[in-house]
Amino acid sequence: MSLLPKNAVVIGAGVAGIATAVRLAVQGFTVTVFEKNAYAGGKLSHFTLGDYSFDAGPSLFTQPENIEALFTLAGEPIEDYFSYQSQEVACQYFFDDDTNITAYTNTEKFVEELVNKHGEEAGMVGKYLQKASSMYQYLGEPFLTNSLHKTSTLTKIPWSNALKTTTASHITSSMFAYNSKFFKNPKTVQLFNRYATYNGSNPYKAPAMLTMIAHLEHTQGTYYPRGGMISITQALVKLAEKKGVQFVYNAPVQSIIANGGKVQGVVVNNENIFADVVVSNMDVYFTYQNLLNQPTNAAKVLKQERSSSALIFYWGIKREFAELGLHNIFFTRNYEAEFEHIFSKKQLYPDPTVYVNITSKCEPGVQAPAGCENWFVMINAPATNTTSWQQLIPAAREHILQKISNRLGVSVADYIEEEEVLTPQGIEAVTSSYMGSLYGTSSNSVLSAFLRHPNFSKEFQNLYFVGGSVHPGGGIPLCLQSAGIVGNLIAKQYASS
């Protein structure tokens, strides 16, 4: 089967794949997206249990400008597709000593909260957040929006400002060590250590450079997309279709056609689909192992430590809890031991940190029945394919319920009327994320960012990679930035050809 010139195939309809498809369509490509599932979104999907609605994966929405930029590029009014609202509170934090912190998105209010409840010095908290903001602006953003594997990226960094902002400790110290120097209260340190989990890493090993992540919530703010996180997927698919992108569901790609150092298309349903450009939104490990039949290159990917995975319970709760918000964290008593279990022992920790997301807080009576709540309950888990997850679920469920119930003073189990569970094994099965790794590789070393797989193939011409398993990493903002990098690389290639 032969296609017209400037045809592109995108493998996988995850958020990065959809965004890449839009960018290529705007460039004039005829784009076809092949998706193995019956729906788009990858991890950013949705399902219902009875009268309760649940976002299956990502639950935090930051940097809406990434989505806005895509609609601007496509020349479409975003308000016809998508809307969102800013949040006054980024997260409610509950500690083991019955204290709690309301993490306001307003910097002054957040600083005041830490001063009043944790005894922190306002000047030190303000300095910390300012450094995080400056690092992101001068160093993080240029690296996250450009290919790390092109020397031209170095010319886009404002080196004078970057060097003024960044110190040796950002590179040589762990997040934990760096945070411990800024904050007096161990609970504040624990709160800011949590940002390592935003890319599936260990704050006791990850470099202090990752402290810039705090900037996203406490300087830029957090948001809620109306209709839940699935509305992001729905809006991007609608935009892509408006631009002529064709989505083919229930159509797993069997292999990538490569010949003479150049990709020529893909095989789907035993049929050759030829294309000028192939973009894989599939986990880069599986791309090499299954689609290119290159086990050696696949093995190279696994030399980097996998990020953490997750064990998720979806609960329909037949009552409301006024003390909870959209995002909630119930901290473990021993954070370091928890990460030791996840990354070194490859085990669940018996006293896990529990994250609870409740979208019905923003849309009561829509995401859950009136007077009820939809709980997305997650604990960090090791990425592994050797664990019998089904055997671990009962104990993990009990530990989670005990922690939350003790803190809220009520037996939460008595109010669960709907339940579904997703294990790391299930994450791999549904999203093709190797071993259920949520972010591909971890950032537990100084060089980890530079070791992430590039967005292009050094071996095959016209083959590109997007999504959480390649540069710049996992999470909605980075996946959208990944799509921007690939779009620019392809545009540059065809401009010079």
Map out the domains of the chain as residue ranges.
7-42+227-304+444-495, 122-221, 308-431
| Least confident stretch, 96-100, 168-172, 383-387, 426-430 | 168-172
Respond yes or no on whether the N-terminal peptide bond of residue 472 is cis (omega within 30° of 0): yes
CATH of domain 7-42+227-304+444-495: 3.50.50.60
For residue 1, is pLDDT > 50?
A: no
**pLDDT for 429-483, tens place per residue?**
999 999 999 999 998 987 776 678 999 999 999 999 999 999 999 999 999 999 9
**pLDDT for 3-19, tens place per residue?**
445 999 999 999 999 99
Q: Of the candidates 381, 309, 312, 400, which has an alpha carbon nearest to the alpha carbon of residue 342?
A: 381
**pLDDT for 255-288, tens place per residue?**
999 999 999 999 999 999 999 999 999 999 999 9
State the pLDDT at residue 3.
41
CB 285 within 8 A of CB 468: no
Strand pairing partners for 24? Answer: none
For residue 2, is pLDDT > 80?
A: no
Distance from C-alpha of 356 to C-alpha of 323, rounded to nearest angstrom: 12
State the pLDDT at residue 4.
43
Distance from C-alpha of 223 to C-alpha of 231, rounded to nearest angstrom: 13
pTM for the full model?
0.94
Output the six-digit token pair for 228: 């839940």
The residue-averaged pLDDT of 118-131 equals 95
For residue 156, is pLDDT > 80?
A: no
Strand pairing partners for 420? Answer: 314
**CB-based burial label for 496 (10 Å; 0-12, 13-18, 19+):** exposed
In one-letter notation, the amino acid at residue 14 is G
State the pLDDT at residue 154.
64
State the pLDDT at residue 139.
80
391 φ, ψ to 5°? -75, -20
**CB-based burial label for 86 (10 Å; 0-12, 13-18, 19+):** exposed
| Upper half-sphere CA count for residue 70 (Cβ side, 13 Å) | 37
Indicate the pLDDT class of residue 381, thresholds 50, 70 and 90. Answer: very high
Helix residue ranges, H only, 216-334:
230-242, 284-286, 295-301
Distance from C-alpha of 38 to C-alpha of 430, rounded to nearest angstrom: 11
Indicate the pLDDT class of residue 159, thresholds 50, 70 and 90. Answer: low
Output the six-digit token pair for 57: 């994966």
DSSP code of residue 90: E
CB 437 within 8 A of CB 468: no
